[in-house]
Amino acid sequence: MNQFDNVSVIKQANVYFDGKCVSHTVVFPDGTRKSIGVILPSHLVFTTGAPEVMEISSGRCKVRLAGETDWTEYTAGQSFDVPGDSSFDIEALETLDYVCHFG
């Protein structure tokens, strides 16, 4: 599924890390929010408030969750869970499209 249907989308983008990460917020009929975004090739550290699931739509990255020593590679169709109040290192090896699911 390469699109979300019957949703609302917020016009103003979320811009992080000087534009290395840009996302738009999508709101579902039940009020659930997800963000669809891009990470340009770079090494970034994200922090989480709520737990989230990062689903890779296209591209390739390496990820290391807080407290881990090993990096895991993810590519299109794969996803990883991030606990709340935590952080993760992500290295986008290619331009990355992702969907971030919260909660």
Which residue ranges make up the site for a second copy (CB under 8 A)?
2-13, 15, 18-20, 22, 24, 26-27, 36-38, 40, 57-58, 95, 97, 99
How many angstroms separate the CA atoms of 94 and 71, rounded?
16
Pick 12 or 69: Cβ nearer a second copy: 12
SS3 sequence of 57-87:
EECEEEEEECCCCCCEEEECCCEEEECCCCE
For a second copy, the closer CB: 9 or 71: 9
Q: What gap in Å lies between CA 74 and CA 58, rounded to an integer? A: 10
- Least distance from C-beta 103 to a second copy, angstroms? 19
Rounded-to-integer distance, Cα 51 and Cα 9, Å: 22
Residue of 22, 20, 23, 25 whose CA lies nearest to 9: 25
Q: Which of residues 53 and 99 has its CB atom nearest to a second copy in the complex?
A: 99
Residue nearer to a second copy on the CB measure, 75 or 84: 75
Min dist CB 10 to a second copy, Å, is 5
We find the least distance from the C-beta atom of residue 50 to a second copy, in angstroms, to be 21
